[in-house]
Copies of this chain bind each other. A is one copy, B any other.
Amino acid sequence: MDQSDIKKYRIKFEDELFNHVLPFWETHSPDPDYGGYFNCLDCDGTVYDTRKHVWLQGRQVWMFSKLYNTVEPRESWLTMAKSGMEFLEQNAVRKENRRVYFCLNRKGDPIWMQRKIFSECFYVMALSEYGRAVDDQSYIKRAREHFNTIWSWKDDLSKVGRPSYSGQKKMNALAVPMILLNVIEEIAGDDWSAWQVKIDECIRQMLLHVHSDRKLVFENVSPDGEFLNTIEGRLLNPGHAIEAGWFLQHWAQKLNDQSLSNTATLMVRWSLDRGWDDEHGGIFYFLDSEGYSPTELEWNLKLWWPHTEALYGSLLNHYITKSEDDLEDFERVFDYTFSHYPDHDHGGWFGYLDRYGHVSQRFKGGPYKGFFHVPRSLLFCRNLLMTMDKQDSTTGQS
Protein backbone atom coordinates (compact mmCIF):
# COMPACT_ATOMS: atom_id res chain seq x y z
CA MET A 1 0.00 0.00 0.00
CA ASP A 2 1.52 3.31 -0.99
CA GLN A 3 1.19 6.48 1.05
CA SER A 4 -1.68 7.86 -0.97
CA ASP A 5 -3.64 4.64 -0.46
CA ILE A 6 -2.87 4.66 3.23
CA LYS A 7 -4.15 8.21 3.45
CA LYS A 8 -7.19 7.48 1.32
CA TYR A 9 -8.25 4.57 3.48
CA ARG A 10 -7.49 6.38 6.74
CA ILE A 11 -9.71 9.26 5.72
CA LYS A 12 -12.51 6.86 4.79
CA PHE A 13 -12.30 5.07 8.12
CA GLU A 14 -12.20 8.32 10.07
CA ASP A 15 -15.07 9.83 8.14
CA GLU A 16 -17.19 6.75 8.69
CA LEU A 17 -16.35 6.49 12.39
CA PHE A 18 -16.50 10.12 13.44
CA ASN A 19 -19.11 11.52 11.05
CA HIS A 20 -21.56 8.67 10.54
CA VAL A 21 -21.31 5.94 13.17
CA LEU A 22 -20.48 7.81 16.37
CA PRO A 23 -23.14 10.54 15.92
CA PHE A 24 -25.88 7.92 15.44
CA TRP A 25 -25.10 6.18 18.71
CA GLU A 26 -24.37 9.38 20.62
CA THR A 27 -27.71 10.79 19.54
CA HIS A 28 -30.02 7.82 19.88
CA SER A 29 -28.62 5.38 22.42
CA PRO A 30 -28.37 7.27 25.75
CA ASP A 31 -31.21 6.69 28.19
CA PRO A 32 -31.48 10.00 30.07
CA ASP A 33 -33.82 8.59 32.72
CA TYR A 34 -32.28 5.33 33.84
CA GLY A 35 -28.76 5.45 32.43
CA GLY A 36 -27.16 2.90 30.18
CA TYR A 37 -28.01 2.67 26.50
CA PHE A 38 -30.97 1.81 24.36
CA ASN A 39 -29.55 -0.79 22.02
CA CYS A 40 -32.67 -1.73 20.06
CA LEU A 41 -32.55 1.10 17.54
CA ASP A 42 -34.39 1.15 14.24
CA CYS A 43 -32.72 2.47 11.08
CA ASP A 44 -33.58 6.08 11.95
CA GLY A 45 -32.69 5.71 15.62
CA THR A 46 -36.22 5.04 16.92
CA VAL A 47 -36.13 2.88 20.04
CA TYR A 48 -38.21 -0.19 19.12
CA ASP A 49 -37.66 -1.94 22.46
CA THR A 50 -36.40 -0.41 25.69
CA ARG A 51 -34.70 -3.50 27.07
CA LYS A 52 -30.93 -3.43 27.48
CA HIS A 53 -28.73 -6.33 26.42
CA VAL A 54 -25.70 -6.62 28.66
CA TRP A 55 -23.28 -7.84 25.96
CA LEU A 56 -23.93 -4.57 24.16
CA GLN A 57 -24.00 -2.35 27.25
CA GLY A 58 -20.60 -3.68 28.30
CA ARG A 59 -19.14 -3.39 24.83
CA GLN A 60 -20.40 0.18 24.46
CA VAL A 61 -18.79 1.19 27.76
CA TRP A 62 -15.58 -0.42 26.51
CA MET A 63 -15.77 1.33 23.14
CA PHE A 64 -16.39 4.83 24.47
CA SER A 65 -13.65 4.32 27.07
CA LYS A 66 -11.29 3.12 24.32
CA LEU A 67 -12.04 6.17 22.19
CA TYR A 68 -11.43 8.40 25.20
CA ASN A 69 -8.21 6.57 26.07
CA THR A 70 -6.70 6.30 22.60
CA VAL A 71 -8.14 9.01 20.32
CA GLU A 72 -8.58 12.00 22.58
CA PRO A 73 -9.96 12.68 26.08
CA ARG A 74 -13.27 14.03 24.89
CA GLU A 75 -15.49 14.67 27.91
CA SER A 76 -18.70 13.55 26.17
CA TRP A 77 -17.17 10.13 25.51
CA LEU A 78 -16.32 9.70 29.16
CA THR A 79 -19.85 10.77 30.12
CA MET A 80 -21.25 8.13 27.79
CA ALA A 81 -18.98 5.46 29.23
CA LYS A 82 -19.81 6.48 32.78
CA SER A 83 -23.55 6.21 32.23
CA GLY A 84 -23.25 2.63 30.99
CA MET A 85 -20.70 1.62 33.60
CA GLU A 86 -22.87 2.83 36.47
CA PHE A 87 -25.93 1.15 35.01
CA LEU A 88 -24.06 -2.14 34.74
CA GLU A 89 -22.54 -1.91 38.19
CA GLN A 90 -25.96 -1.29 39.70
CA ASN A 91 -27.87 -3.91 37.76
CA ALA A 92 -25.89 -6.42 35.72
CA VAL A 93 -24.27 -8.64 38.32
CA ARG A 94 -26.01 -11.24 40.50
CA LYS A 95 -24.02 -10.46 43.60
CA GLU A 96 -24.02 -13.88 45.25
CA ASN A 97 -22.15 -15.63 42.46
CA ARG A 98 -20.80 -12.98 40.05
CA ARG A 99 -23.02 -14.25 37.25
CA VAL A 100 -23.89 -11.42 34.85
CA TYR A 101 -27.35 -11.17 33.30
CA PHE A 102 -27.83 -11.29 29.54
CA CYS A 103 -30.71 -8.85 29.37
CA LEU A 104 -32.23 -6.20 31.66
CA ASN A 105 -35.33 -4.09 31.31
CA ARG A 106 -35.05 -0.34 30.92
CA LYS A 107 -34.85 0.20 34.69
CA GLY A 108 -32.26 -2.53 35.13
CA ASP A 109 -34.38 -5.39 36.45
CA PRO A 110 -33.21 -8.74 35.09
CA ILE A 111 -35.03 -10.39 32.19
CA TRP A 112 -32.70 -13.21 31.20
CA MET A 113 -29.51 -15.02 32.17
CA GLN A 114 -27.62 -17.16 29.64
CA ARG A 115 -25.92 -20.40 30.58
CA LYS A 116 -22.75 -19.02 28.97
CA ILE A 117 -19.86 -16.84 30.09
CA PHE A 118 -20.00 -14.05 27.50
CA SER A 119 -21.98 -11.45 29.45
CA GLU A 120 -19.33 -11.74 32.15
CA CYS A 121 -16.53 -11.25 29.61
CA PHE A 122 -18.01 -8.05 28.22
CA TYR A 123 -18.65 -6.75 31.72
CA VAL A 124 -14.98 -7.33 32.56
CA MET A 125 -13.88 -5.53 29.38
CA ALA A 126 -16.05 -2.56 30.38
CA LEU A 127 -14.61 -2.42 33.91
CA SER A 128 -11.06 -2.61 32.64
CA GLU A 129 -11.13 0.04 29.93
CA TYR A 130 -13.34 2.36 31.97
CA GLY A 131 -10.92 2.04 34.89
CA ARG A 132 -8.16 3.29 32.60
CA ALA A 133 -10.34 6.16 31.43
CA VAL A 134 -11.01 7.38 34.95
CA ASP A 135 -7.55 6.33 36.09
CA ASP A 136 -8.97 4.24 38.92
CA GLN A 137 -7.11 0.99 39.57
CA SER A 138 -9.96 -0.40 41.64
CA TYR A 139 -11.90 -1.02 38.43
CA ILE A 140 -9.01 -2.91 36.92
CA LYS A 141 -8.58 -4.92 40.10
CA ARG A 142 -12.25 -5.86 40.03
CA ALA A 143 -12.02 -6.72 36.34
CA ARG A 144 -9.16 -9.11 37.05
CA GLU A 145 -10.91 -10.71 40.02
CA HIS A 146 -14.08 -11.18 37.99
CA PHE A 147 -12.04 -12.64 35.15
CA ASN A 148 -10.48 -15.20 37.46
CA THR A 149 -13.96 -16.30 38.47
CA ILE A 150 -14.94 -16.72 34.82
CA TRP A 151 -11.72 -18.68 34.27
CA SER A 152 -12.75 -21.11 37.01
CA TRP A 153 -15.99 -21.78 35.10
CA LYS A 154 -14.62 -22.16 31.58
CA ASP A 155 -13.98 -25.91 31.52
CA ASP A 156 -17.18 -26.85 33.28
CA LEU A 157 -20.16 -24.88 32.12
CA SER A 158 -22.37 -26.72 34.62
CA LYS A 159 -21.01 -24.00 36.92
CA VAL A 160 -23.08 -21.50 34.95
CA GLY A 161 -26.08 -23.82 34.92
CA ARG A 162 -25.52 -25.61 31.62
CA PRO A 163 -26.68 -29.21 32.10
CA SER A 164 -24.72 -32.12 30.71
CA TYR A 165 -26.30 -35.35 29.53
CA SER A 166 -24.84 -38.77 28.96
CA GLY A 167 -25.37 -38.74 25.18
CA GLN A 168 -23.46 -35.50 24.59
CA LYS A 169 -20.13 -35.76 22.81
CA LYS A 170 -17.43 -33.81 24.60
CA MET A 171 -16.76 -30.77 22.48
CA ASN A 172 -14.84 -27.50 22.82
CA ALA A 173 -16.07 -24.28 21.24
CA LEU A 174 -13.61 -21.82 19.70
CA ALA A 175 -15.70 -18.98 21.13
CA VAL A 176 -14.58 -19.66 24.69
CA PRO A 177 -10.76 -19.52 24.52
CA MET A 178 -10.82 -16.76 21.91
CA ILE A 179 -12.91 -14.35 23.97
CA LEU A 180 -10.89 -15.20 27.10
CA LEU A 181 -7.65 -14.45 25.24
CA ASN A 182 -9.06 -11.17 24.01
CA VAL A 183 -10.18 -10.21 27.50
CA ILE A 184 -6.71 -10.99 28.87
CA GLU A 185 -5.28 -8.57 26.26
CA GLU A 186 -7.60 -5.95 27.72
CA ILE A 187 -7.03 -6.53 31.42
CA ALA A 188 -3.33 -7.44 31.41
CA GLY A 189 -2.10 -4.22 29.86
CA ASP A 190 1.59 -3.97 29.01
CA ASP A 191 2.87 -6.38 31.64
CA TRP A 192 1.26 -9.75 30.99
CA SER A 193 3.84 -11.90 32.77
CA ALA A 194 1.37 -12.80 35.52
CA TRP A 195 -1.05 -14.01 32.81
CA GLN A 196 1.36 -16.16 30.81
CA VAL A 197 -0.07 -19.53 31.88
CA LYS A 198 -3.59 -18.49 31.00
CA ILE A 199 -2.45 -16.94 27.72
CA ASP A 200 -0.66 -20.16 26.76
CA GLU A 201 -3.72 -22.22 27.64
CA CYS A 202 -6.03 -20.07 25.51
CA ILE A 203 -3.65 -20.22 22.56
CA ARG A 204 -3.25 -23.99 22.93
CA GLN A 205 -7.00 -24.49 22.97
CA MET A 206 -7.58 -22.17 20.03
CA LEU A 207 -4.97 -23.90 17.89
CA LEU A 208 -6.80 -27.22 18.35
CA HIS A 209 -9.47 -25.76 16.06
CA VAL A 210 -7.02 -25.03 13.25
CA HIS A 211 -6.80 -28.03 10.92
CA SER A 212 -3.95 -27.05 8.61
CA ASP A 213 -4.20 -30.20 6.50
CA ARG A 214 -7.63 -29.06 5.36
CA LYS A 215 -7.03 -25.30 5.67
CA LEU A 216 -10.08 -25.10 7.91
CA VAL A 217 -10.81 -23.57 11.30
CA PHE A 218 -13.57 -25.54 12.99
CA GLU A 219 -15.90 -23.87 15.45
CA ASN A 220 -16.24 -27.06 17.55
CA VAL A 221 -13.74 -29.89 18.01
CA SER A 222 -13.20 -32.71 20.47
CA PRO A 223 -11.16 -31.82 23.58
CA ASP A 224 -8.14 -33.28 21.74
CA GLY A 225 -8.84 -31.22 18.66
CA GLU A 226 -10.30 -34.05 16.60
CA PHE A 227 -12.81 -33.40 13.85
CA LEU A 228 -16.35 -34.43 14.84
CA ASN A 229 -18.58 -35.55 11.98
CA THR A 230 -21.76 -34.03 13.40
CA ILE A 231 -23.78 -30.89 12.74
CA GLU A 232 -21.72 -28.93 15.30
CA GLY A 233 -18.43 -30.58 14.42
CA ARG A 234 -18.68 -29.65 10.75
CA LEU A 235 -19.70 -26.08 11.52
CA LEU A 236 -17.56 -23.31 10.05
CA ASN A 237 -18.06 -19.76 11.29
CA PRO A 238 -15.70 -17.79 9.05
CA GLY A 239 -16.21 -14.49 10.84
CA HIS A 240 -15.34 -16.06 14.15
CA ALA A 241 -12.26 -17.74 12.74
CA ILE A 242 -11.08 -14.46 11.23
CA GLU A 243 -11.63 -12.63 14.51
CA ALA A 244 -9.77 -15.41 16.35
CA GLY A 245 -6.96 -14.96 13.82
CA TRP A 246 -6.37 -11.33 14.65
CA PHE A 247 -6.74 -11.96 18.39
CA LEU A 248 -3.90 -14.48 18.01
CA GLN A 249 -1.90 -12.14 15.79
CA HIS A 250 -1.93 -9.50 18.52
CA TRP A 251 -0.41 -12.01 20.93
CA ALA A 252 2.03 -13.32 18.34
CA GLN A 253 3.35 -9.78 18.04
CA LYS A 254 3.52 -9.25 21.80
CA LEU A 255 5.18 -12.63 22.35
CA ASN A 256 7.37 -12.24 19.27
CA ASP A 257 6.24 -15.70 18.15
CA GLN A 258 6.79 -16.09 14.39
CA SER A 259 5.16 -19.49 14.15
CA LEU A 260 2.02 -18.25 15.89
CA SER A 261 2.02 -15.22 13.64
CA ASN A 262 2.13 -17.44 10.55
CA THR A 263 -0.78 -19.51 11.81
CA ALA A 264 -2.80 -16.42 12.67
CA THR A 265 -2.20 -15.07 9.17
CA LEU A 266 -3.36 -18.32 7.61
CA MET A 267 -6.49 -18.48 9.79
CA VAL A 268 -7.63 -15.17 8.36
CA ARG A 269 -6.71 -16.07 4.77
CA TRP A 270 -8.26 -19.54 4.80
CA SER A 271 -11.45 -18.41 6.48
CA LEU A 272 -11.87 -15.51 4.12
CA ASP A 273 -11.32 -17.77 1.11
CA ARG A 274 -13.66 -20.46 2.35
CA GLY A 275 -16.24 -18.06 3.73
CA TRP A 276 -16.48 -15.79 0.67
CA ASP A 277 -19.55 -16.14 -1.54
CA ASP A 278 -18.06 -16.23 -5.04
CA GLU A 279 -21.47 -15.86 -6.59
CA HIS A 280 -22.89 -12.86 -4.75
CA GLY A 281 -19.99 -11.49 -2.71
CA GLY A 282 -19.63 -11.12 1.03
CA ILE A 283 -18.85 -13.60 3.78
CA PHE A 284 -21.31 -16.33 4.72
CA TYR A 285 -22.36 -16.52 8.37
CA PHE A 286 -22.08 -20.31 8.64
CA LEU A 287 -20.95 -23.18 6.44
CA ASP A 288 -20.73 -26.95 6.76
CA SER A 289 -17.23 -28.24 6.13
CA GLU A 290 -18.52 -31.22 4.15
CA GLY A 291 -20.94 -29.23 2.05
CA TYR A 292 -24.19 -30.15 3.74
CA SER A 293 -26.63 -27.35 4.40
CA PRO A 294 -25.97 -25.80 7.80
CA THR A 295 -28.98 -26.26 10.07
CA GLU A 296 -28.79 -22.60 11.13
CA LEU A 297 -31.55 -20.99 9.09
CA GLU A 298 -29.54 -17.75 8.81
CA TRP A 299 -26.42 -19.46 7.41
CA ASN A 300 -26.27 -17.53 4.13
CA LEU A 301 -26.90 -14.06 5.52
CA LYS A 302 -24.11 -11.52 5.20
CA LEU A 303 -23.70 -10.11 8.69
CA TRP A 304 -21.79 -6.92 9.36
CA TRP A 305 -19.38 -8.30 11.94
CA PRO A 306 -17.58 -10.98 9.90
CA HIS A 307 -16.85 -8.16 7.45
CA THR A 308 -15.61 -5.71 10.06
CA GLU A 309 -13.37 -8.44 11.49
CA ALA A 310 -12.14 -9.34 8.00
CA LEU A 311 -11.36 -5.68 7.30
CA TYR A 312 -9.04 -5.42 10.25
CA GLY A 313 -7.76 -9.01 9.99
CA SER A 314 -6.69 -8.63 6.36
CA LEU A 315 -5.20 -5.17 6.90
CA LEU A 316 -3.23 -6.50 9.85
CA ASN A 317 -2.09 -9.44 7.69
CA HIS A 318 -0.88 -7.06 5.02
CA TYR A 319 0.89 -4.89 7.56
CA ILE A 320 2.77 -7.90 8.87
CA THR A 321 3.38 -9.92 5.70
CA LYS A 322 3.49 -7.08 3.15
CA SER A 323 1.89 -9.62 0.83
CA GLU A 324 -0.10 -8.37 -2.13
CA ASP A 325 -2.58 -11.21 -1.58
CA ASP A 326 -3.45 -9.84 1.84
CA LEU A 327 -3.86 -6.39 0.36
CA GLU A 328 -6.21 -7.79 -2.28
CA ASP A 329 -8.17 -9.52 0.46
CA PHE A 330 -8.45 -6.23 2.31
CA GLU A 331 -9.57 -4.35 -0.79
CA ARG A 332 -12.16 -6.98 -1.66
CA VAL A 333 -13.62 -6.88 1.84
CA PHE A 334 -13.43 -3.07 1.94
CA ASP A 335 -15.34 -2.72 -1.32
CA TYR A 336 -18.11 -5.09 -0.27
CA THR A 337 -18.38 -3.66 3.23
CA PHE A 338 -18.37 0.03 2.39
CA SER A 339 -20.80 -0.43 -0.48
CA HIS A 340 -23.32 -2.40 1.58
CA TYR A 341 -23.42 -1.60 5.29
CA PRO A 342 -23.07 2.17 5.86
CA ASP A 343 -26.26 4.23 5.85
CA HIS A 344 -25.44 7.88 5.27
CA ASP A 345 -29.11 8.86 5.35
CA HIS A 346 -29.50 8.15 9.05
CA GLY A 347 -26.03 7.18 10.23
CA GLY A 348 -24.93 3.89 11.72
CA TRP A 349 -24.46 0.68 9.74
CA PHE A 350 -26.94 -1.93 8.71
CA GLY A 351 -26.13 -5.31 10.19
CA TYR A 352 -27.98 -7.98 8.29
CA LEU A 353 -28.09 -8.51 4.53
CA ASP A 354 -29.52 -11.49 2.73
CA ARG A 355 -27.31 -13.61 0.50
CA TYR A 356 -27.87 -11.24 -2.42
CA GLY A 357 -26.81 -8.17 -0.48
CA HIS A 358 -30.23 -6.68 0.21
CA VAL A 359 -30.88 -5.32 3.69
CA SER A 360 -32.74 -8.07 5.49
CA GLN A 361 -33.12 -6.38 8.89
CA ARG A 362 -33.25 -2.61 8.73
CA PHE A 363 -32.39 -1.91 12.37
CA LYS A 364 -29.02 -0.47 13.42
CA GLY A 365 -29.07 -1.99 16.87
CA GLY A 366 -30.64 -5.20 18.13
CA PRO A 367 -30.21 -7.96 20.68
CA TYR A 368 -26.76 -8.81 19.26
CA LYS A 369 -25.74 -5.63 17.45
CA GLY A 370 -24.60 -2.54 19.27
CA PHE A 371 -21.84 0.03 19.26
CA PHE A 372 -18.91 -2.35 19.05
CA HIS A 373 -17.76 -4.28 15.98
CA VAL A 374 -18.15 -1.38 13.57
CA PRO A 375 -16.37 1.32 15.64
CA ARG A 376 -13.74 -1.14 16.89
CA SER A 377 -12.83 -2.16 13.37
CA LEU A 378 -12.88 1.41 12.05
CA LEU A 379 -10.71 2.58 14.95
CA PHE A 380 -8.26 -0.32 14.78
CA CYS A 381 -7.90 -0.03 11.01
CA ARG A 382 -7.41 3.73 11.28
CA ASN A 383 -4.80 3.28 14.03
CA LEU A 384 -2.97 0.65 11.99
CA LEU A 385 -2.99 2.88 8.92
CA MET A 386 -1.49 5.68 11.03
CA THR A 387 1.26 3.31 12.13
CA MET A 388 1.86 2.25 8.52
CA ASP A 389 1.95 5.87 7.46
CA LYS A 390 4.54 6.70 10.11
CA GLN A 391 6.73 3.72 9.20
CA ASP A 392 6.52 4.53 5.52
CA SER A 393 7.59 8.10 6.22
CA THR A 394 10.43 6.84 8.38
CA THR A 395 11.72 4.09 6.12
CA GLY A 396 10.91 5.71 2.83
CA GLN A 397 9.04 2.59 1.73
CA SER A 398 6.25 3.09 -0.71
Interfacial residues, chain A to chain B (CB-CB below 8 A)? 40, 42, 48-49, 51, 101, 103-105, 107-113, 163, 165-168, 230-231, 290, 292-295, 297-301, 352, 354-356, 360-363, 366-367
Contact A360 B231, beta carbon cutoff 8 Å: no
Also in contact, A362 and B293, with CB within 8 A (given A167-B104, A298-B298): yes
Complex Cα distance, B109 from A165, in Å, reads 8
For A230, the chain B residues whose CB sits under 8 A away are 49, 51
Structural contact, A48 and B292, CB atoms closer than 8 A: yes
Residues on the B chain within 8 Å of A361, using CB: 293-295, 297, 299
**Contact present for A111 and B355 (CB under 8 Å):** no
Smallest beta-carbon distance A31→chain B, Å: 15
Could you say which of B105, B168, B297 contacts A352, with CB atoms under 8 Å apart?
B297
Nearest-Cβ distance from residue A223 to partner chain B, whole angstroms: 17
Are A109 and B366 neighbours in the complex by a CB distance under 8 Å?
no
Q: Is the CB of A40 within 8 A of B165?
A: no
B-side contacts of A167, CB under 8 Å? 103-105, 107-111
8 Å CB contact of A113 from B165, B231, B363: B165
Closest 4 CB pairs of A and B: A109-B167, A297-B298, A105-B167, A110-B165
Between A and B, 6 residue pairs with Cβ closer than 8 Å are A49-B231, A51-B231, A104-B167, A109-B166, A112-B165, A294-B361
A362 to B165, CA, bound (A): 30
Contact A113 B168 (CB under 8 A): no
Collect the chain B residues with CB atoms within 8 Å of residue A48's CB. 231, 290, 292
CB distance from A355 to the nearest CB of B (A): 7
Across-interface contacts of A112 in B (CB, < 8 A): 165, 168
Q: How far is the CA of A51 from the CA of B109 in the complex (A)?
A: 39
How far apart are the CA atoms of A394 and B306 in the complex, in Å? 64
Known: A49-B230, A104-B167, A293-B360. 5 other contacts (CB 8 A): A42-B292, A108-B167, A109-B166, A295-B361, A354-B354
* A105 CA to B232 CA, complexed, in Å: 14
Q: Are A293 and B111 in contact (CB under 8 A)?
A: no
Would B292 and A363 count as touching, CB distance under 8 A? yes
* A363 surroundings in chain B (CB, below 8 A): 292-293, 295
Q: Report the Cα distance A355→B298, complex, angstroms.
A: 12
